[in-house]
Structure 1
Amino acid sequence: MKAKITVTPEKSLFVEPVCIIISNLPTNTTVKIKAILKDENEEPWFLSEAIFKTANDGVIDLSRQAPISGSYSGIDSMGLFYSMLPVDKTEKFYSVNGIETLVFLCVELEKKIIAQKTIERCFSFSNIETREIREDGMVGVFCYSKNSHKIPGIITVSGSGGGISTEMAQMLASQGYAVLALGYFGAGGLPERLENIHLEYFQNAIKWFKSQKQVDENKIALRGASYGGELVLLLAATFPEEISAVVAISPPSMLFGGFPYSNKPKWIYKNSPITPFIGGFSNNDINLTEAEDLLKTTQNGTIAFHAGTFEDPYVVTPLFLKRIEKNKSLLDALAIQVEKIQCPLLIITGEDDQVHPATMHGNLIMDRLEKYHSTIDRKHIHYSNAGHSLRTPYEPKIDLPWFVADNVFCYSGGTIEGNYRASVHAWKEMMSFFDRGQECPRPRKCTMSAVTA
């Protein structure tokens, strides 16, 4: 009989694990299993591989057996997925976001393919409606299951990359929510940069979202990562009566300047900049970009020198620590007033975040809530061996420099396995939190938890 690859399910969401079993193999033989993601030209783009030894029954079950060697180690049915690396490691962009893609699996024996199978990984179920929204100056994507009515809603926002988080909205909608991926800069019809963004824009978007027939107006949650985490904390503190739950991933605890121009304000409310905020070291230079500030502070020895190249990427966390130290007399005024938040709060961070000191910020948020005797349900989960990118489980967790802008590369932190395990756990925690927080209020519970990834 021919060797056979069985994948369950054959079509799955990016956030779902699959089971891979290879059967009808020669007994007590080593074989190589490859997983390949192809680009739009059908050329190999991402690749992983592992060598296994077959047992007496001629079966390899990835959920029960560890590879002898390869891209990953240990028993893990999704090891071939998270351990993929780009074939061209000098390529500037590694994200698989935006792609509903096919994964090609093959089994090789003595360098010959003896079994192959293609499986589909997608962002949403076929019953998910995806609508582009351009109304009253608002730009976004609205996702919900067809025929849904008055279901809990989530508004998700991007971080410093801008744009619209369509894929995240689709994945969350596939979990049973009505989701608005709201753009606020870096998309057509919106400001080009993260600066001078009016909070009233979000207030109007929340009002619009609540008016949709698919949405339960009493159950509106917020989700944001990085500077998007700063934004959702600020919105929940500014419009506390509008929000029923908040998830902030790798957020700052205080206000920072714009991006890429760090000496300009990010946020405007009632026609006034929200101040104070932490800017770059050259506070009088409003035309200094984040990348230029990094270069200056490495060249003058303020932080350890890195060239910002692929071979020598920037490590940005020391820069943020120095900025915080420089403004230590203003820290209370700089802090986001999270004590005004009236809904459950979940903070997720990586202890090895090299973009900014996210776990420190998460702890500061928890400390401030305690200081002001907040009674909200809150939890801070922080993961060892994890960095800045804790978003989607099972996608490739690339341990390579991250291209930011202006031909600048940065290191985001964590290990491939650490980021993977943290992302899987964090996704489950986030969905459990949304499920609880959107259904009914709970008694106060203050929790700090460290997870070894």
Structure 2
Amino acid sequence: MWRRVTARAWDVCLEHFAGLSRPFGRISLRSCNKRGVVTISVSPAAGLADQPAKVAVLGLPPLQEVTLRALVVNEQGTLFDSCAHYQAGEQGEIDLSGEPSKGGDYTGLEPMGLFWSLSPAAMEKPYQRLEPRNVKAPMKMEMFVHQGYSQPDAIPGPVLAKTRVERWFILPEVRRIRLKEGAVRGSLFLPPGNGPFPGVIDMFGDEGGLIEYRASLLATHGFAALSLPYFNFEDLPKAMEDFHLEYFEEAVRLLLRHPKVKGPGIGVVGTGKGAELASSMMTFLPEVVAAVCISGCSSIIATAVHYGKITLPGLRFNMSRVNISESGVFDIYEALDDPMDPANSHCRIPFEKAEGHFLFVVGEEDRHWKSSSYAEIAIGYLRQHGKNNFTLLSYSGAGHRINPSFTPVCLVALDRVLGVPILGGGGSRAHAHAQEHSWRKILEFLQFHLR
């Protein structure tokens, strides 16, 4: 019943704002600044999801204590929320860029805290990620100002003001082309203009399927970005099986043949299993000249990788080394076999064969596996062979899944294959800062090595 009431309330909010002017994907909001009228403004009211927004409240009584609250309903109808406590200044104003939160889902000076701290509401199934499945539509957010301090998951005080926000993962001029050519499946995002544009292949981890939001954001920053699924999509294998690098090689050559893609080389961005595949592509495919490896491993994991007559078998997981908390969260940090064990040397990715440049992005508190150590292992092999074609971004306090700036942090995620919550590790605030910094560095890295 609560879910149905919430959904109806959301529909009413959408109807209320339906008449707003929306030129070029923007919302035009008019607020009254008369004395005694409380208003909340977000600028831009409609903007790119990886760009900051300025949040301010005006018209409060001096030193008034309030709770700011954000609500989002995803495509599946799940409600996500966040809240923070603020106190107005002597003039009755609150500017999140200069005022620290005094409580709620985060504390301290966090101008974008209401965005990155969004998590499933109390009545929802926990551990769900807030990630868009349809990048052509914005993430719609309602933001409220409530009287007094109210704790997360508690009934908030009276509403003093509200506004609506849209967070877009794509620009209107970016073209999205669904690909089904040869064995390759995916979505190609092309920036506006004639190009040619630097080409990037984007891949995620062992959840499979087509995940487009990072590729669409890359296209907004001037890259021709191919979101490449490799299982659990259309006629691709339903589950992870042994991988043949020829599939990824075909995707690389397909991208390079496009008239709007600038050669002779491309970049690859991968997270988790995608990072392992990105490393393999960089090692064996000369057309790949830059690889961003986020929370990856220095060896092949679980399923083997084949390329011609070369086979790299996968490290195994030992489930006896998995710890399960009283709340049912799985900690698999120690489950993976040691890549440095001589018995596992045949699983190692030969990084030293790569001629391009690596960017390793890791969280030092990653509990999904030891990605920080794995990055050091990969760097060690490069150094042993006299190579310095790498950059390491290692973040204290960050966990496993490091996404673009300001996207909601999910430190425990429901595994879409196993159906159990997996501990990703880290702290929300440190992880959010790692996302903001690393995304900027990823864009700089790709721009430098592909242009």
- Identify the TM-score tier after normalising by the shorter chain: 0.7 to 0.9
Q: Residue by residue, what CA displacement relative to the aligned partner does 1:387-444 show, whole Å, maximum 9, x if unpaired?
A: 11101221221344533433322111111112111111111111111121122xxxxx
Contact residue 47 and residue 86 of structure 1 kept, 8 A? yes
Q: CA deviation at 1:228?
A: 0.6
| Whole-Å separation in 2 of the counterparts to 1:15 and 1:167 | 11
Q: Residue by residue, what CA displacement relative to the aligned partner does 1:117-151 show, whole Å, maximum 9, x if unpaired?
A: 00101111111111100011210100012333211
Q: How does 1:282-431 map to 2 (within 5 A)?
A: 294=319, 297=320, 303=321, 305-306=323-324, 311-320=327-336, 323-324=337-338, 328-376=341-389, 378-431=390-443
Q: How does 1:15-414 map to 2 (within 5 A)?
A: 15-40=50-75, 45-87=79-121, 88=123, 90-91=125-126, 93-98=128-133, 100-109=138-147, 111-240=157-286, 242-258=287-303, 265=304, 267-270=305-308, 272=309, 274-281=311-318, 294=319, 297=320, 303=321, 305-306=323-324, 311-320=327-336, 323-324=337-338, 328-376=341-389, 378-414=390-426
Q: CA deviation at 1:177?
A: 0.7
Contact residue 200 and residue 266 of structure 2 kept, 8 A? yes
Question: Which residue type is aligned with residue 277 of structure 1?
Answer: G
| Whole-Å separation in 1 of the counterparts to 2:418 and 2:266 | 37
| Whole-Å separation in 2 of the counterparts to 1:428 and 1:252 | 23
Residue matched to 2:21:
none
Q: Residue by residue, what CA displacement relative to the aligned partner does 1:165-185 show, whole Å, maximum 9, x if unpaired?
A: 311110110011111111211
Question: Which residue type is aligned with residue 230 of structure 1?
Answer: E
| Whole-Å separation in 1 of the counterparts to 2:129 and 2:313 | 35
- Shift in CA distance, 39/224, structure 1 to aligned 2, threshold 3 Å: closer
Q: CA deviation at 1:71?
A: 1.4
Contact residue 255 and residue 336 of structure 1 kept, 8 A? yes
- Shift in CA distance, 25/280, structure 1 to aligned 2, threshold 3 Å: closer
The alignment's TM-score, normalised by the length of structure 2, stands at 0.85
Residue matched to 2:10:
none
3-state SS in 2 of match to 1:209 = helix
| Whole-Å separation in 2 of the counterparts to 1:306 and 1:67 | 33
Contact residue 93 and residue 403 of structure 1 kept, 8 A? no
Q: CA deviation at 1:364?
A: 0.4
Residue matched to 1:448:
none
Contact residue 402 and residue 412 of structure 1 kept, 8 A? no
Residue matched to 1:9:
44
| Whole-Å separation in 2 of the counterparts to 1:413 and 1:65 | 28
| Whole-Å separation in 2 of the counterparts to 1:20 and 1:117 | 11
| Whole-Å separation in 2 of the counterparts to 1:127 and 1:106 | 31
Contact residue 220 and residue 245 of structure 1 kept, 8 A? yes
Question: Which residue type is aligned with residue 40 of structure 2?
Answer: I
| Whole-Å separation in 2 of the counterparts to 1:388 and 1:407 | 18
Q: Residue by residue, what CA displacement relative to the aligned partner does 1:217-264 show, whole Å, maximum 9, x if unpaired?
A: 224111111111110111111112x12211000111012222xxxxxx
- Shift in CA distance, 39/138, structure 1 to aligned 2, threshold 3 Å: closer
Q: Residue by residue, what CA displacement relative to the aligned partner does 1:355-382 show, whole Å, maximum 9, x if unpaired?
A: 1100000000110000011242x11111
| Whole-Å separation in 2 of the counterparts to 1:362 and 1:39 | 34
3-state SS in 2 of match to 1:319 = coil
Question: Which residue type is aligned with residue 312 of structure 1?
Answer: G
Contact residue 315 and residue 355 of structure 1 kept, 8 A? yes
Q: CA deviation at 1:24?
A: 1.8
3-state SS in 2 of match to 1:428 = helix
| Whole-Å separation in 1 of the counterparts to 2:323 and 2:105 | 31
Contact residue 34 and residue 106 of structure 1 kept, 8 A? yes
- Shift in CA distance, 172/225, structure 1 to aligned 2, threshold 3 Å: same
- Shift in CA distance, 201/414, structure 1 to aligned 2, threshold 3 Å: same
3-state SS in 1 of match to 2:315 = coil
- Shift in CA distance, 23/218, structure 1 to aligned 2, threshold 3 Å: same
Which range is displaced more, 327-336 or 129-138?
A: 327-336
- Shift in CA distance, 239/26, structure 1 to aligned 2, threshold 3 Å: same
Q: Residue by residue, what CA displacement relative to the aligned partner does 1:174-216 show, whole Å, maximum 9, x if unpaired?
A: 0111111112111001111221222111111111111111100
- Shift in CA distance, 133/420, structure 1 to aligned 2, threshold 3 Å: same
Where structure 1 has 5 or more consecutive residues not aligned to the other structure, the ranges are: 259-264, 282-293, 298-302, 440-453
3-state SS in 2 of match to 1:324 = coil
Contact residue 349 and residue 383 of structure 1 kept, 8 A? yes
Q: CA deviation at 1:273?
A: 6.4
| Whole-Å separation in 2 of the counterparts to 1:280 and 1:84 | 32
Question: Which residue type is aligned with residue 3 of structure 1?
Answer: V
Which range is displaced more, 82-91 or 186-195?
A: 82-91
| Whole-Å separation in 1 of the counterparts to 2:65 and 2:323 | 46
Q: CA deviation at 1:103?
A: 0.9
Question: Which residue type is aligned with residue 61 of structure 2?
Answer: P
Question: Which residue type is aligned with residue 129 of structure 2?
Answer: Y
Query: Identity percentage over the alignment?
Result: 23
| Whole-Å separation in 2 of the counterparts to 1:248 and 1:399 | 19
What RMSD over aligned residues (CA atoms) do the two structures have, in Å?
Answer: 2.0
- Shift in CA distance, 73/331, structure 1 to aligned 2, threshold 3 Å: same
3-state SS in 1 of match to 2:302 = coil
3-state SS in 1 of match to 2:89 = coil
